[in-house]
Amino acid sequence: MIDKQVDSIAAALAGIRDGATILSAGFGAVGAPDELMDGLLEMGVGDLVVVSNNAGSGKRGLAALIDAGRVRKVICSFPRTDDPRAFDAAYKAGRIELELVPQGIISERMRCAAAGLGGFYSPVGVGTKLAHGKEVREIDGKSYVFEKPLRGDVALLRAHRADRWGNLAYRKSARNFNPVMAMAAELTVVQAKELVALGDIDPECVHTPGIFVDRVVVV
């Protein structure tokens, strides 16, 4: 029998190590795995690379990890969201590295990794500062920059409903980065609001099939 449910945040995060690349879902606070991120702080791992659309807000989650000096680098499209004091302070102090990536390229680079591809040519950023140092290639008369896959050691997600196979359904705009990050990491961990019986999520409406999910914890 397959049962991906674990009974604690600690069990959900077990095995994550210093230096790990963490894909942290959510767009601002919506769809963000707050309790799992808090759990990372508690378990004490550091030297993390965090991929997330924003670089933390207020004093919890990613912001708390940054405040505690646990994050070496953030890969994001827009670091400053509501109340970005933790990132701002670390950035000004030179305590954190920032890789700024256009929002659609972050998600596409993760999908590229998920799909087993070696990279792709993107029209986004051509001729701008964000393409500095990147290979540029003309294809059928148009210029593109080469983008490489972005893979995580761990993806931390927040879902609305989950079953014991790890099938997931999200709610409204809380879906955002969750399905893409689910596919792009070695270990995919989900905090779900509700664990439902196998089959309760309509097979036509499974947003993330369980094949991408390793652990589910109900929060």
Partner 1 sequence: MTPLSRSQMAWRAAQDIDNGWYVNLGIGLPTLVSDHIPPGREIVFHSENGLLGMGPKPQPHEVDTDLINAGKGLTTLITGGSFFHHADAFLMIRGGHLDLSIMGAFEVSEAGDLANWTTEDPSFPPGVGGAMDLAVGARRVRVLLEHTTKDGKPRIKVKCDYPLTAAHCVSRIYTNLAVIDVTPEGLIVREIVEGLSFDELQQKTGARLTLANDWAPLVPKLASTATH
133 binds partner 1 (CB under 8 A): no
141, interface contact from a copy of itself, partner 1, none, CB < 5-8 Å by kind: none
Evaluated on CA atoms 38, 49, 59, 96, the torsion sign reads positive
State whether residue 114 is helix, strand or coil.
Answer: helix
Burial class (CB in 10 A: 0-12, 13-18, 19+), 32: buried
- 5 near partner 1 (CB under 8 A): no
The answer to whether residue 199 forms part of the interface with a copy of itself (CB under 8 A) is: no
Residue of the chain from 24, 62, 66, 177 that contacts partner 1 (CB under 8 A): 177
How deeply is 61 buried, as exposed, middle or buried, from its count of CB atoms within 10 A (0-12, 13-18, 19+)?
buried
Q: Which does 214 bind (CB under 5 to 8 A by kind): a copy of itself, partner 1, none?
A: none
Name which of residues 184 to 203 contact partner 1 (CB under 8 A): 198-199, 201, 203
Please identify which residue in the block is written with the tokens 């302070």: 89
Question: What is the Cα–Cα distance from 210 to 192, expressed in whole angstroms?
Answer: 13
By CB under 8 A, name the one of 110, 185, 189, 217 that touches partner 1. Answer: 110
List interacting residues with a copy of itself (CB under 8 A): 108, 112, 115-123, 137, 139-140, 142, 144, 148, 169-172, 202-205, 207
